[in-house]
């Protein structure tokens, strides 16, 4: 008997996006719930036997009851069973979001795998071996018990864990709650469903991170998917299919304006093959431009802020270099002298007013344009 | 430009003035007041700057008053190395002719245009030209009278001066655009900072918002920490409960408690044994005491029998003694009773004899009483009669004191009426002679005096009648007399008195009877104090008593009576003594009887007690013999000894079981069980409370709040960072602009300062003029970093500074290729001698480069200057 399930993780429901002000932030918050509902619909469409959530379904143990209720409501398109593994964000502490969820829901198809005990599905033909986090950080490998876990002969063994697979993840990733890289092999698992890494990634043989179904940060890691996993029987090779679920595209864009010609920003953003209204963009602009071009870049950015769902601009690397044309435009006399002085300050790397001088040059140019416009 | 000749004719009041041979340097054109110096300047201006065909008000002002002439000005001058001759005529036949270098000639409008071109000025579209706007450099350098103290107004020449400076300095001033940029920068700075350089507006709000968010974050963090601490506590509690459960702490405590309880129960059995032995010992003790007490009671009873027999014997003897004493006393009583009987008989006889004698004496005194009473009765009856009579008289006589007084009044009234009548009556004295008589009212009268009180006819015998008629109301008086008399008669009649005399006699009787009546009453009272009837009664009683006594004699001597009395008294005394002796004997007999009764009672009582004691002893012995009693006592003592030994054995066994230790262990086990249960209960309660609290906190979503606030802080932090840079940039921009402006200004005005410096060093060493870099108008004078506004200087100083500024500007213009002569109309009228001399030096120095023409009416002021002097 085959076992077909949906592997997902890191929903982080209740993540507030406080750094995204206004309606944009509110929409991102709301989308995390909507994506869960979409995921539930997908589970029904794919006729899966279960949905395995490999940790961090909630952003924290201290989310509002409202958030828990919203998640419960979002689960309704799929009847279950839902198997939730407590992760580091929602660890099964003595009091946790899970103890609250149990109070708020009496559904018997929602299984909270908060104890390291086998969970039999399909009359024992498939067994889930969970490694719940009962603290936020564990020093030992919680999946170790999988090796000795007894199951019925021929049962499909699926491990469910949350943490970092040793030696496999990219540098810089969090190294807490480590999981042995050969756990699938040592525990004779048919599949090890992992959570914590937000991108979709096969990390070892029969070992996958599903990633978050809704991207929540600017990191180029193939997030925004769920995995449909089908295992024909114990020992069979699992068939894993990534299905896109993310509504918002988080993109990092770097634009170098070295050529000093306007329009570079727009070209780079136009080149994003995403729905602009659902794009959350972190734009880094570097280069050396004239004051006039700097002004033009500002106008461009202003227009793009209105087009994109959210735009964060890092222009610390964008330098203004007043040209003769700028100076001619701004005018001779003492204003020209002031421009020269500010430029000199802006070009001194150690000058305390370096950044202020750059902004002052921009301001002067803007004033100049405004004054000219009003004449 | 250099002027060499000016000829003016028919211009205002000047008919003709010729000034020629003007020197290239300093010239003074002197003239008296009203000589026409200012008109000369006006004519020169008209010649150079007005169109020759000018009309209207302009030409009107050129014409002398009331004359239609042709104002004409001729000027010879040189400019930029070329000589020019100008002829300008205005009015009816206007003419303009300019002859320049090489004989070039312009006439008419061309001449006007040529002038405008070579002198670099523009004319107004119409009307009179204004020096500061239309005369080019000459507007500044030709100064009218009375305006030399004003700041030079560059007007149209400003651009020429600025151009000259820019060419010299090599840069331009900021101008309007620079000012606009400065203004915008200042406005931008004000968006971020207030005047005290404190953050404001959006910048300040962003900082405050961030502070608020950080406080909020810290608060949420604090609460989350509390929450996490609670979660940890909950974990610890769960772990402890789990440990209790795993180790079965409660079960073990229960087992310990149960074992301790069993030990306590065993201890209880031992204690029960001790209690039973103790009870047995107590019973044996009681039995032993009872037999001892019975033995003692038996001895007591035997002793009681012995004591009651002795007491009976004693009481019996006492009774016999009492009986003997009574008998003796009864015998003495007989003797006394006999004596008493005899004494009583003697006394009786003596009393009888005395009574007889007393009856006789009483009869005698009764008789005396009856006889005396009879006398008194008679006298009293007499007095009573007299009293009744007097009383009757008083009742019969009605004339009492009041009636008598009334009668006396009426009688007095009659007498008074009569007296009046008599006084009014005629008193007729009849003294007949010859024995004659007279008849009056039928009464014959002889010698007499009578009174006639009414009309009366007196018949005199022998004479006839004489009618006497008394006058004066005699009739009334008479009637009054009669009326009074009638009243008296009525009164008397009412009193039953015939007349006044009887009345008076009756009044006297009345008084006598009333006087007598009290003494009669006193006498009667003395005789019969209780009344006559009482007297009569007493007398009748005495008589009756006497009759009752009969014949008892009565003639016995009083002595016999006295003897009989003494005898009776003696007998009575003897009888009294006998009676006292009898009573004494009786009393003693009664006492002896009482003592006997007591003794008898005691004897009987002792008899009864003795009988009872004997009966009780007999009864007791019947129940238990004395031997049996002794045997019982021995048995009870043995039983007591055995019970005491059993009790001691039980106690020893109990002590061996260590009851305190068993109890202590029991208490400890029970307490341990209680404590374990309470601890588990407390832990469970805390668990429930913590879970409830965490549940409540969970609803608030503190985690979401914290993450949200931290996100906001990150975003606001970045924003504030941008604003901070912008705020610093705004300040930097504004300050940089101001600094650049100041430096540029200083550089740009330096040519003027440099030109003015040599002149100022002559007048005010160390001073510098301050000009607006745009208008180039004179603002102030600066010396030693002290700035004096131009308007604040004295009139003389202003004249001098303004002239020097003009000279400096003229230098710049000249250096820029545009030379112009200076014409100053009375320019230094307010200078003191010292300053004037200095200004002469200044003008001399300036004249080295420029032609200077001074128009003045103060010739002497300039005599010493060494200028070319022209007089008009």
At B728-755, the pLDDT tens digits run: 999 999 999 989 888 887 887 888 888 8
Tens of pLDDT along B565-608? 888 888 888 888 888 888 888 888 888 888 889 989 988 998 99
In this model, does residue A369 exceed pLDDT 70?
yes
As given in the structure block, the two tokens for residue B134 are 């239309």
Residue A299: phi, psi to the nearest 5?
A: -65, -40
Averaged pLDDT of chain B: 86
In this model, does residue B441 exceed pLDDT 80?
no
Nearest neighbour of B704 by CB, restricted to A67, A338, A364: A67
Measured in residues, chain A has a length of 375
Q: Is residue B715 part of a domain?
A: no
As given in the structure block, the two tokens for residue B422 are 């008599």
- With CA atoms as reference, the chain A residue closest to B172 would be A333
* Residue A311 vs residue B456, higher pLDDT: A311
What secondary structure letter does DSSP report for B174? Answer: -
Residue A85: phi, psi to the nearest 5?
A: -105, 125
The predicted model gives B836-840 an average pLDDT of 90
Whether A18 and B697 lie within 8 Å, measured CB to CB: no
B166 and B303 housed in the same domain: no
Listed residues B638, B654, B670: the one ending a domain:
B638
Tens of pLDDT along B776-835? 788 888 888 888 888 888 888 898 999 998 898 888 888 888 887 899 988 888 888 888
Which chain B residues contact residue A103 at CB under 8 A? 695
Which chain B residues contact residue A356 at CB under 8 A? 725, 728-729, 731-732
What is the span of the domain harbouring residue B838?
2-173+774-871
Listed residues B638, B654, B687: the one ending a domain:
B638
Q: Pick from A105, A113, A118, A109: which is nearest to A145 by CA?
A: A118
Structural contact between residues B432 and B446, judged by C-beta atoms closer than 8 angstroms: yes
The alpha carbon of residue B732 is apart from the nearest alpha carbon of chain A, in Å, by 7
Q: Pick from A141, A92, A73, A151: which is nearest to A117 by CA?
A: A151
Q: Is residue B490 part of a domain?
A: no
Q: Pick from A231, A348, A252, A335: which is nearest to A291 by CA?
A: A335
Confidence (pLDDT) at A183: 93
In the block, tokens 């055995």 appear at B642
In this model, does residue B24 exceed pLDDT 80?
yes
What torsion, rounded to 10 degrees, do the Cα atoms B568, B569, B575, B581 define?
A: -170
Measured in residues, chain B has a length of 872
Kindly calculate the radius of gyration of chain B based on its CA atoms and give it in whole angstroms.
93
- With CA atoms as reference, the chain A residue closest to B742 would be A334
- With CA atoms as reference, the chain B residue closest to A345 would be B732
Number of domains present in the structure of chain B: 2
CA distance from start to end of chain B: 22
Distance, in Å, from the CA atom of B269 to the CA atom of B266, rounded to the nearest integer, reads: 5
Q: How far is CA A300 from CA A22, A270, A284, A304, B473, in A?
A: 21, 12, 14, 6, 172
The predicted model gives B117-124 an average pLDDT of 84
Which chain A residues contact residue B701 at CB under 8 A? 14, 62-67
Q: Is residue B249 part of a domain?
A: no
Which chain A residues contact residue B715 at CB under 8 A? 18-21
Parallel/antiparallel/unpaired status of strands A191-195 and B426-430: unpaired
Q: Pick from B175, B771, B776: which is nearest to A334 by CA?
A: B175
Nearest neighbour of A100 by CB, restricted to B177, B695, B728: B695
Burial class (CB in 10 A: 0-12, 13-18, 19+), B309: middle
Sequence-distant (6+) residues with CB within 8 A of B86 are B47, B48, B73, B74, B75, B76, B77, B96, B97, B98, B99, B111, B115
Q: How far is CA A257 from CA A265, A266, A285, A364, in A?
A: 8, 11, 7, 21
Classify B184 in phi/psi space as left (phi over 0), alpha (psi -120 to 50) or beta. alpha
Strand boundaries in B374-503, DSSP class E: 426-430, 438-440, 443-445, 448-452, 456-460, 464-468
In the block, tokens 């080149």 appear at A271
Distance, in Å, from the CA atom of B296 to the CA atom of B299, rounded to the nearest integer, reads: 5
Nearest neighbour of A62 by CB, restricted to B234, B702, B725: B702
| Optimal mutation site among A335, A336, A357, interface B, most CBs of chain B within 10 A | A335
Confidence (pLDDT) at A375: 53
Instruction: Name all domains of chain A by residue range, CATH numbers in brackets.
Output: 3-244 (3.60.21.10), 249-374 (no CATH)
Residue B210: phi, psi to the nearest 5?
A: -65, -40
Q: What is the CATH number of the domain that holds B825?
A: 3.40.50.300
* Residue B806 vs residue B697, higher pLDDT: B806
- With CA atoms as reference, the chain A residue closest to B730 would be A360
Alpha carbons within 13 A on the beta-carbon side of B361: 13
What secondary structure letter does DSSP report for A170? Answer: P
B287 and B145 housed in the same domain: no
Which chain A residues contact residue B710 at CB under 8 A? 18
As given in the structure block, the two tokens for residue A198 are 């937000």
What torsion, rounded to 10 degrees, do the Cα atoms A168, A172, A175, A181 define?
A: 0
Bridge partners of A160, per DSSP, are: A130, A193
What torsion, rounded to 10 degrees, do the Cα atoms B749, B754, B759, B763 define?
A: 70
B373 and B518 housed in the same domain: yes
Q: Report DSSP letters for B93-112, one per residue.
A: S-EEEEE-GGG-EEEHHHHH
Confidence (pLDDT) at A374: 59
Whether B725 and A355 lie within 8 Å, measured CB to CB: yes
Q: Pick from A363, A316, A370, A315: which is nearest to A342 by CA?
A: A363
% chain B with pLDDT above 70: 98
Which chain A residues contact residue B713 at CB under 8 A? 18
Whether A353 and B173 lie within 8 Å, measured CB to CB: no
Distance, in Å, from the CA atom of B20 to the CA atom of B18, rounded to the nearest integer, reads: 6
Q: Pick from A126, A127, A125, A98: which is nearest to A110 by CA?
A: A98
Sequence-distant (6+) residues with CB within 8 A of A315 are A284, A285, A297
Work out the pLDDT band at A296, boundaries 50, 70, 90. confident
Q: Is residue B442 part of a domain?
A: no
Which chain B residues contact residue A365 at CB under 8 A? none
Classify B369 in phi/psi space as left (phi over 0), alpha (psi -120 to 50) or beta. alpha
Whether B701 and A17 lie within 8 Å, measured CB to CB: no
As given in the structure block, the two tokens for residue B230 are 């609670």
- With CA atoms as reference, the chain B residue closest to A365 would be B181
Which chain A residues contact residue B740 at CB under 8 A? 334-335, 337-338, 341
Confidence (pLDDT) at A212: 96
Averaged pLDDT of chain A: 89
Tens of pLDDT along A189-210? 999 999 999 999 998 889 999 9
Helices B175-192, A333-346: axis angle to 10 degrees equals 50
Q: Is residue B713 part of a domain?
A: no
Nearest neighbour of B227 by CB, restricted to A62, A67, A338: A62
Whether A334 and B174 lie within 8 Å, measured CB to CB: yes
Q: Pick from A192, A199, A279: which is nearest to A240 by CA?
A: A192
Bridge partners of A250, per DSSP, are: A280
Bridge partners of A159, per DSSP, are: A129, A192
Confidence (pLDDT) at A136: 84
The predicted model gives B674-689 an average pLDDT of 92
Structural contact between residues B762 and B838, judged by C-beta atoms closer than 8 angstroms: yes
Confidence (pLDDT) at B332: 82
As given in the structure block, the two tokens for residue A172 are 């810089």
% chain A with pLDDT above 90: 59
Whether B702 and A15 lie within 8 Å, measured CB to CB: no
As given in the structure block, the two tokens for residue B489 are 């008669």
The predicted model gives B664-672 an average pLDDT of 92
Sequence-distant (6+) residues with CB within 8 A of B84 are B75, B76, B77, B78, B98, B99, B100, B101, B118
Burial class (CB in 10 A: 0-12, 13-18, 19+), B678: exposed
In this model, does residue B38 exceed pLDDT 90?
no
The alpha carbon of residue B840 is apart from the nearest alpha carbon of chain A, in Å, by 38
Nearest neighbour of A359 by CB, restricted to B173, B231, B726: B726
* Residue B333 vs residue A341, higher pLDDT: A341
As given in the structure block, the two tokens for residue B299 are 């001895």
Tens of pLDDT along B510-519? 888 888 888 8
In this model, does residue B693 exceed pLDDT 60?
yes
Confidence (pLDDT) at A319: 81
Q: Pick from A289, A285, A287, A290: which is nearest to A266 by CA?
A: A285
The predicted model gives B92-111 an average pLDDT of 90
* Largest separation between any pair of C-alpha atoms in chain B: 235
Confidence (pLDDT) at B3: 92
Distance, in Å, from the CA atom of B872 to the CA atom of B44, rounded to the nearest integer, reads: 15
Burial class (CB in 10 A: 0-12, 13-18, 19+), B262: exposed
Distance, in Å, from the CA atom of B485 to the CA atom of B307, rounded to the nearest integer, reads: 134
Sequence-distant (6+) residues with CB within 8 A of A269 are A253, A276, A281, A283, A304, A307, A308
Which chain A residues contact residue B229 at CB under 8 A? none
Sequence-distant (6+) residues with CB within 8 A of B800 are B763, B828, B831, B835, B838, B839, B842
Which chain B residues contact residue A338 at CB under 8 A? 733, 736-737, 739-741
As given in the structure block, the two tokens for residue A141 are 């490998």
Sequence-distant (6+) residues with CB within 8 A of B251 are none
Bridge partners of B824, per DSSP, are: B143, B854
Distance, in Å, from the CA atom of B58 to the CA atom of B56, rounded to the nearest integer, reads: 5
B154 and B298 housed in the same domain: no
Kindly provide the ipTM of the predicted complex, given to two decimals. Answer: 0.82
The alpha carbon of residue B750 is apart from the nearest alpha carbon of chain A, in Å, by 15
Listed residues B622, B638, B654: the one ending a domain:
B638
Q: Report DSSP letters for B579-648, one per residue.
A: HHHHHHHHHHHHHHHHHHHHHHHHHHHHHHHHHHHHHHHHHHHHHS-HHHHHHHHHHHHHHHHHHHHHHH
Q: Is residue B392 part of a domain?
A: no
Distance, in Å, from the CA atom of B100 to the CA atom of B304, rounded to the nearest integer, reads: 198
């Amino acid at each position: 008997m085959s076992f077909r399930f949906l592997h997902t993780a890191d929903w982080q429901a209740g993540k507030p996006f406080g750094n995204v002000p206004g309606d944009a932030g509110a929409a991102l918050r709301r989308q995390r719930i909507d994506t869960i509902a979409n995921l539930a619909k997908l589970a029904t469409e794919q006729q899966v036997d279960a949905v395995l959530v490999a940790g961090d379904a909630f952003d924290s143990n201290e989310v509002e009851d409202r958030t828990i209720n919203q998640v419960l409501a979002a689960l309704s398109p799929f009847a279950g069973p839902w198997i939730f593994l407590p992760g580091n964000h929602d660890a099964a502490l003595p009091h946790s979001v899970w103890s609250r969820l149990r109070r708020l829901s009496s559904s018997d198809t929602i299984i909270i795998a908060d104890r390291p005990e086998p969970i039999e599905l399909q009359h024992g033909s498939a067994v889930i071996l969970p490694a719940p986090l009962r603290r936020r950080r564990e020093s030992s490998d919680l999946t170790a018990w999988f090796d000795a876990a007894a199951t019925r002969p021929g049962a499909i063994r699926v491990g469910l864990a949350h943490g970092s697979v040793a030696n496999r993840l990219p540098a810089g990733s969090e190294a807490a709650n480590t999981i042995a890289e050969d756990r699938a092999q040592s525990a004779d698992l048919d599949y090890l469903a992992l959570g914590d890494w937000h991108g979709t990634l096969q990390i070892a043989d029969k070992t996958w991170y599903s990633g978050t179904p809704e991207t929540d940060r600017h990191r180029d890691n193939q997030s925004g998917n769920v995995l449909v996993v089908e295992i024909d029987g114990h020992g069979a090779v699992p068939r894993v299919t990534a299905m896109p679920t993310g509504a918002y595209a988080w993109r990092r864009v770097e634009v170098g304006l070295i050529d000093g010609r306007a329009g570079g920003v727009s070209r780079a953003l136009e080149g994003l093959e995403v729905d602009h209204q659902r794009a959350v963009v972190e734009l880094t602009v570097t280069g050396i431009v004239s004051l006039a071009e700097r002004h033009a870049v500002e106008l461009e950015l202003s227009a793009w802020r209105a087009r994109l769902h959210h735009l964060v601009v890092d222009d610390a690397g964008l330098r203004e270099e007043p040209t003769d044309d700028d100076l001619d435009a701004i005018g001779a006399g003492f204003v020209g002298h002031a421009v020269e002085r500010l430029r000199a300050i802006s070009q001194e790397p150690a000058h305390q007013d370096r950044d202020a001088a750059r902004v002052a040059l921009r301001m002067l140019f803007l004033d100049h344009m405004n004054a000219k416009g009003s004449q | 430009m250099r002027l060499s000749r000016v000829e003016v004719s028919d211009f205002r009041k000047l008919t003709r003035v010729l000034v020629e041979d003007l020197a290239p340097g300093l010239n003074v054109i002197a003239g008296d007041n009203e000589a026409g110096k200012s008109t000369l300047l006006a004519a020169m201006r008209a010649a150079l700057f007005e169109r020759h065909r000018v009309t209207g008000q302009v030409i009107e002002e050129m014409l002398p008053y009331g004359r239609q002439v042709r104002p004409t000005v001729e000027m010879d001058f040189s400019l930029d190395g070329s000589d020019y001759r100008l002829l300008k005529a205005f009015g009816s036949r206007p003419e303009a002719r300019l002859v320049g270098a090489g004989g070039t000639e312009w006439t008419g409008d061309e001449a006007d245009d040529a002038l405008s071109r070579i002198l670099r000025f523009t004319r107004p579209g119409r009307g009179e030209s204004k020096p500061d706007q239309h005369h080019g450099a000459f507007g500044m350098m030709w100064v009218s009278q009375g305006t030399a103290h004003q700041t030079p107004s560059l007007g149209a020449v400003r651009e020429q001066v600025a151009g000259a400076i820019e060419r010299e300095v090599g840069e331009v001033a900021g101008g309007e655009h620079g000012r606009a940029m400065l203004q915008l920068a200042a406005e931008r700075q004000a968006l971020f900072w207030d005047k005290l350089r404190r953050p404001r507006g959006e910048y300040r709000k962003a900082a405050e918002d961030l502070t608020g968010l950080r406080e909020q974050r810290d608060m949420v963090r604090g609460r989350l920490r509390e929450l996490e601490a609670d979660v940890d506590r909950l974990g610890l509690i769960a772990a402890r409960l789990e440990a209790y459960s795993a180790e079965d702490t409660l079960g073990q405590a229960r087992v310990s408690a149960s074992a301790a309880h069993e030990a306590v129960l065993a201890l209880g059995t031992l204690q029960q044994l001790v209690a039973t032995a103790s009870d047995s010992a107590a019973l044996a003790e009681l039995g032993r005491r009872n037999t001892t007490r019975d033995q003692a009671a038996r001895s007591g009873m035997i002793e009681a029998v012995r004591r009651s027999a002795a007491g009976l014997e004693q009481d019996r003897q006492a009774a016999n003694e009492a009986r003997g004493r009574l008998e003796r006393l009864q015998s003495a009583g007989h003797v006394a009773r006999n004596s008493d009987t005899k004494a009583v008989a003697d006394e009786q006889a003596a009393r009888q004899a005395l009574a007889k004698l007393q009856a006789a004496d009483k009869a005698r005194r009764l008789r005396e009483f009856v006889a005396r009473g009879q006398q008194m009765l008679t006298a009293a009856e007499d007095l009573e009669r007299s009293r009744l009579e007097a009383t009757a008289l008083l009742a019969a006589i009605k004339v009492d004191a009041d009636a008598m007084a009334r009668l006396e009044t009426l009688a007095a009234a009659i007498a008074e009426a009569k007296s009046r009548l008599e006084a009014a009556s005629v008193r007729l004295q009849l003294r007949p002679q010859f024995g004659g008589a007279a008849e009056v009212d039928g009464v014959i009268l002889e010698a007499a005096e009578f009174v006639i009180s009414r009309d009366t006819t007196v018949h005199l015998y022998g004479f006839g009648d004489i009618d006497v008629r008394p006058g004066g109301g005699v009739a009334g008086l008479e009637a009054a007399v009669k009326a009074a008399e009638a009243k008296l008669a009525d009164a008397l009649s009412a009193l039953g008195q015939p007349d006044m005399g009887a009345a008076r006699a009756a009044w006297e009787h009345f008084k006598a009877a009333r006087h007598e009546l009290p003494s009669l009453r006193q006498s009667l009272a003395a005789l019969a104090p209780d009344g006559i009837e009482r007297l009569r009664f007493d007398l009748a009683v005495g008589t009756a008593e006497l009759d009752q006594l009969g014949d008892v004699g009565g003639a016995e001597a009083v002595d016999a009576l006295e003897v009989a009395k003494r005898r009776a008294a003696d007998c009575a005394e003897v009888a009294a003594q006998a009676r006292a002796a009898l009573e004494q004997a009786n009393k003693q007999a009664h006492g002896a009887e009482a003592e006997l009764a007591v003794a008898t009672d005691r004897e009987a009582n002792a008899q009864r007690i003795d009988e009872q004691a004997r009966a009780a002893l007999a009864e007791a012995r019947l129940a238990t013999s004395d031997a049996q009693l002794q045997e019982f006592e021995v048995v009870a003592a043995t039983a007591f000894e055995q019970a005491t030994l059993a009790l001691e054995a039980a106690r020893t066994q109990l002590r061996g079981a260590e009851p305190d230790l068993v109890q202590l262990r029991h208490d400890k086990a029970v307490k341990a069980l209680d404590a374990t249960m309470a601890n588990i209960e407390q832990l469970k309660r805390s668990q429930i409370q913590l879970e409830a609290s965490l549940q409540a906190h969970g609803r608030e979503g503190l985690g979401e709040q914290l993450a949200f606030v931290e996100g906001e802080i990150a975003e606001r932090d970045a924003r504030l960072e941008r604003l901070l840079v912008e705020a610093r940039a705004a300040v930097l921009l504004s300050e940089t602009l101001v600094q650049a402006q100041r430096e540029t200004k200083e550089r740009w005005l330096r040519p003027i300062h440099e030109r003015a410096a040599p002149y100022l060093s002559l007048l005010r060493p160390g001073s510098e003029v301050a000009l607006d870099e745009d208008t180039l108008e004179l603002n102030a004078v600066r010396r030693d970093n002290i700035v004096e506004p131009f308007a604040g200087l004295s009139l003389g100083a202003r004249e001098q500074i303004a002239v020097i500024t003009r000279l400096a500007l003229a230098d710049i213009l000249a250096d820029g290729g545009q030379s112009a002569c200076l014409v100053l109309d009375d320019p230094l009228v307010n200078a003191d001698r010292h300053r004037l001399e200095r200004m002469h030096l200044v003008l001399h120095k300036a004249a080295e480069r420029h032609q200077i023409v001074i128009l003045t009416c103060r010739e002497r002021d300039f005599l010493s200057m060494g200028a070319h002097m022209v007089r008009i």
